Structure 1
Amino acid sequence: MADSFPFELVSPERLLVSEQVEAVVLPGSEGEMTIMAHHAPLMTTLKPGVIRVRGGAGAETRYLAFGGFADITPEGCTVLAEAAIPAEQFSRADLDARIAAVQAELDAAEDDHHRTKLEEFLSNLSHIESHINS
């Protein structure tokens, strides 16, 4: 059995997870990363994507996160998400609504930097599609 470590996933609305886990896969801004016990210290921003949490019994739970950052230490991992929700509670209609809102903001964007950020966010939302319920 792998060593466990404390993991917390916090959104502005609530604490979603606070438990001992064996591994966490995060959608880091530079790519997916797997966090395990005794990980080297690291802080990273998160892009919109899926956080996969493997508990002590080996069961995996998925959460959709829409940006944020992670603080990783040898003692544990804390994720502060801009928004997060258990994957099974997020529907295709929810995703379509988010995509439409970002597309409307993109259509109205006047600044190239803002437009580029919105295009990147829209691309990340499309990767979430395979992880939601229909």
Structure 2
Amino acid sequence: MADKLEFELVSPEKLLVSQPVAMVVVPGADGLFGVLPGHAPMIVTVRPGIIDVYGDNQTTVSRRIFVAGGFAEVTDTRCTVLAEEASDLDALLKSDTAALEKQISDLREDIEDATSDVERRALETRLVTTQAKLDLIASQQDAEAA
């Protein structure tokens, strides 16, 4: 069995990551799941959360990436995540929380004013993503304060 698998993270705009890794942990709809070389094939819905990338070994996280949801395809040699939105965790943690709170408030108003189910669902998806970002920032700040 190989000691690395190929990890790819793709957003609608571009290929964000393509590298061999020891392991990757993805926030699946049913919980976190780790992918090692030789993993059984599967396709999974990805929920908003953090992808932990273990570059050189299975004990040290080399990169953390926030994803807003999407899908993951896993094979025995590859893990490909198709993300609706993705950003490095460090960049996200520098986000203006007041701006995110304002965006959440505006989205809630827009949902109330939505004139179609399609528009409402799109706004609700944006609301869930923005709330996940704000919750993540708050949890990281709480962890640092403890």
The TM-score bracket by the shorter chain reads 0.7 to 0.9
2:25 equivalent in structure 1:
25
> For residues 108 and 102 of structure 1, do their structure 2 counterparts lie closer, same or farther at Cα, with a shift above 3 Å needed?
same
More strand by percentage: 1
- How much has 1:127 moved relative to structure 2? 4.2
Tell me whether 1:83 sits opposite 2:85 in the alignment: yes
Unaligned 5+ residue runs, structure 1?
A: none
Aligned length: 128
Selected match of 2:128 from 113, 118, 121: 121
- Check whether the contact 2:65–2:88 (CA below 8 A) recurs between aligned residues: yes
1:73 equivalent in structure 2:
75
- Check whether the contact 1:47–1:68 (CA below 8 A) recurs between aligned residues: yes
- Check whether the contact 2:52–2:61 (CA below 8 A) recurs between aligned residues: no
1:35 equivalent in structure 2:
35
Unaligned 5+ residue runs, structure 2?
A: 142-146
> For residues 29 and 109 of structure 1, do their structure 2 counterparts lie closer, same or farther at Cα, with a shift above 3 Å needed?
farther
More helix by percentage: 2
Look up the equivalent residue of 1:78 and give its one-letter code: T
Look up the equivalent residue of 1:128 and give its one-letter code: L
Say what the alpha-carbon RMSD is for the aligned residues. 2.9
Higher mean C-alpha deviation, range 92-101 or range 9-18: 92-101
Pairs within 5 Å for 1:7-18 = 7-18=7-18
- How much has 1:70 moved relative to structure 2? 0.3
1:3 equivalent in structure 2:
3
- 1:91-122 deviation digits (Å, cap 9, x = unpaired): 332671553454334444586xx67x938926
Higher mean C-alpha deviation, range 44-53 or range 92-101: 92-101
- Check whether the contact 1:99–1:125 (CA below 8 A) recurs between aligned residues: no
Return the TM-score normalized by structure 2. 0.71
What is the percent sequence identity of the aligned residues?
A: 36
> For residues 29 and 20 of structure 1, do their structure 2 counterparts lie closer, same or farther at Cα, with a shift above 3 Å needed?
same
> For residues 23 and 93 of structure 1, do their structure 2 counterparts lie closer, same or farther at Cα, with a shift above 3 Å needed?
same
Return the TM-score normalized by structure 1. 0.77
Tell me whether 1:99 sits opposite 2:104 in the alignment: yes
Q: Distance in 2 between matches of 1:107 and 1:82?
A: 24
